């Protein structure tokens, strides 16, 4: 007797998989946009250019980034997130003596600032900050991040004024690196970093 087979149904994508796919597409678009900025300059960054670089339709880009400003804001946020990861990588393990010493966060912030940037990272950051500065709303993610960094500095066991000096010194070095403003290199950079580090070890 012949039997009939029941067609196998392909499982529908789960919500978590859909989120992962959407996240991967957003990263693809952001990486493509970064390549456009590094190769052609931020003035040539358009949604069309990002779509072409990513190998997607413009509609695919518009789904995630409805405007150029939203794309630039996401690129700025991506730089912030990468810096946050760098800070976290330099924090001592929770519960260790180093983690309990005053200035642990300040030292992690310092090390994340002075470590060598990835190729093209400084040019990308400078271009994006220049673009964001022309539209104040695009600076909001960076302003909010700075408020968070300052709050962590003030909660780091150091004198509040000294902790703020350390952050301002690090931020100044970062901006000098971004815009090529005579930032120290080599042995001088190492000495500057050591001087900053000593400030994080001053206790009242």
Domain ranges of the chain: 19-66, 77-199
- pLDDT bucket at 1, cuts 50 / 70 / 90: very low
Mean pLDDT over 194-204 rounds to: 89
Mean pLDDT of the chain: 88
- pLDDT bucket at 6, cuts 50 / 70 / 90: low
Mean pLDDT over 4-33 rounds to: 72
pTM value is 0.82
Nearest CA to 128 out of 140, 113, 138 is that of 138
- pLDDT bucket at 26, cuts 50 / 70 / 90: very high
Query: What's the per-residue H, E or C state across 161-194?
Result: HHHHHHHHHHHHHHHHHHHCCCCCCHHHHHHHHH
- 93-141 pLDDT, tens digit each: 988 998 889 999 999 999 999 988 777 788 888 888 888 878 888 888 8
CATH T-level assignment (fold) for domain 19-66: Arc Repressor Mutant, subunit A (1.10.10)
Whether 106 and 163 have beta carbons less than 8 Å apart is answered as: yes
CA-atom Rg of the chain in angstroms: 22
């Amino acid at each position: 007797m012949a039997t009939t087979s029941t067609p196998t149904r392909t499982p529908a994508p789960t919500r978590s998989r859909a989120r992962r796919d959407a996240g991967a597409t957003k990263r693809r678009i952001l990486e493509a946009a970064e390549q456009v900025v590094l190769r052609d300059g931020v003035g040539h960054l358009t949604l069309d250019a990002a779509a072409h670089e990513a190998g997607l339709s413009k509609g695919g880009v518009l789904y995630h980034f409805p405007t150029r400003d939203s794309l630039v804001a996401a690129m700025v946020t991506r730089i912030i997130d990468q810096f946050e990861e760098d800070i976290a990588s330099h924090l001592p393990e929770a519960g260790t003596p180093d983690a309990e010493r005053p200035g642990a966060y300040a030292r992690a912030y310092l090390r994340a600032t002075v470590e060598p940037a990835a190729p093209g990272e400084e040019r990308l950051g400078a271009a994006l900050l220049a673009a964001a500065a022309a539209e104040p709303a695009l600076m909001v993610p960076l302003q909010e991040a700075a408020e968070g960094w300052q709050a962590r500095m003030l909660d780091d066991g150091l004198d509040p004024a000294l902790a703020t000096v350390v952050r301002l010194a690090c931020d100044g070095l970062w901006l000098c690196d971004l815009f090529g403003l005579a930032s120290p290199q080599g042995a001088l950079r190492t000495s500057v970093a050591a001087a900053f580090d000593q400030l994080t070890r001053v206790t009242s």
